[in-house]
Homo-oligomer: A and B are copies of this chain.
Amino acid sequence: MCPVDVPLHHLGGKWKLIVCFYLLQRPCRNGELRRLIPQVRQKMLTQQLRELEASGLVQREVFDQVPPKVVYSIVDKERAALEAVVYPLCEWGIDRVGRHGGRILTTTLPTDF
């Protein structure tokens, strides 16, 4: 077991890091995340969010109203650690795209989506 195993276990999965990337910018509702990540299926989104919640990285807040409202956000305590991981990843990604071509669609999140 090496040090990267643990994070790998919590952040593995096809959509977790992408979800975290968006949630680090601001809390999002289910539907927002689906629009931000059009390729993800509802089933997968839910599953990955639940696993992130189980890992204590993401918190789920339910507002008791109709229509239902659920907001996901990064747990405060883990924000710093998560940023330390995700941001370098982003910078590397942006840098790579700059050198090798490709397009980054969303870097900053509109306040409402």
Report which A residues bind B (CB closer than 8 A). 1-8, 10, 17-18, 21-22, 36-37, 81, 84-86, 88-97, 102-107
Tell me if A's interface is mostly helix, strand, loop or mixed. Answer: helix
Given contacts A3-B104, A81-B92, 4 further A-B contacts (CB under 8 A): A7-B96, A10-B96, A81-B95, A85-B92
**B contact residues around A84 at 8 Å (CB):** 88, 91-92
Copies of this chain per assembly: 2
In the bound complex, do residue A89 and residue B4 qualify as a contact, i.e. CB atoms below 8 Å apart?
yes
Set of chain B residues within 8 Å of A6, measured between Cβ atoms: 92-93, 96-97, 102
23 residue pairs from A and B, CB less than 8 Å apart: A1-B102, A2-B36, A2-B104, A2-B105, A2-B106, A2-B107, A3-B90, A3-B91, A3-B97, A3-B107, A4-B17, A4-B18, A4-B93, A5-B18, A6-B92, A7-B93, A7-B96, A81-B92, A84-B88, A84-B92, A85-B85, A85-B89, A88-B88
